[in-house]
Amino acid sequence: MRFPTGRNAQYCADLFDVSICNIAAITKRMALIRSEAQLSNTDYDTLRVISELLCVQRHYMNLDTYSMADVADMIETLCIT
């Protein structure tokens, strides 16, 4: 495939073992089940912490203990490690 979109579509089709013609059959539930099967408990806990920190960063939740710069640093550190 010459274009990034086509390569991405082919990769997704191969990943979920569907033909490129049936790529619309891939559902969010299929993706969730596959991702959960590949994550360890530690990874899942880290993702949960990152999710909560992103909510704080976007002001959906409050965290008075740390500044926004601290929250951004924590997110970056967790995403790198």
CB proximity list for 34: less than 8 A, separation 6 or greater: 15, 16
- What total of structural domains would you count in the chain? 2
Q: What distance in Å separates the CA atoms of residue 35 and residue 28, rounded to the nearest whole number?
A: 10
33 shares a domain with 54: no
Pair 16, 30: CB distance under 8 Å: yes
20 shares a domain with 47: no
Q: What's the pLDDT score for residue 42?
A: 87
Q: What distance in Å separates the CA atoms of residue 42 and residue 68, rounded to the nearest whole number?
A: 25
Pair 27, 16: CB distance under 8 Å: no
66 shares a domain with 47: yes
pLDDT digits (tens, 9 = 90+) for 20-75: 888 888 888 988 888 778 888 888 899 899 999 999 999 999 988 999 999 999 99
Which residue range(s) make up the domain with 29?
4-38
75 shares a domain with 50: yes
18 shares a domain with 49: no
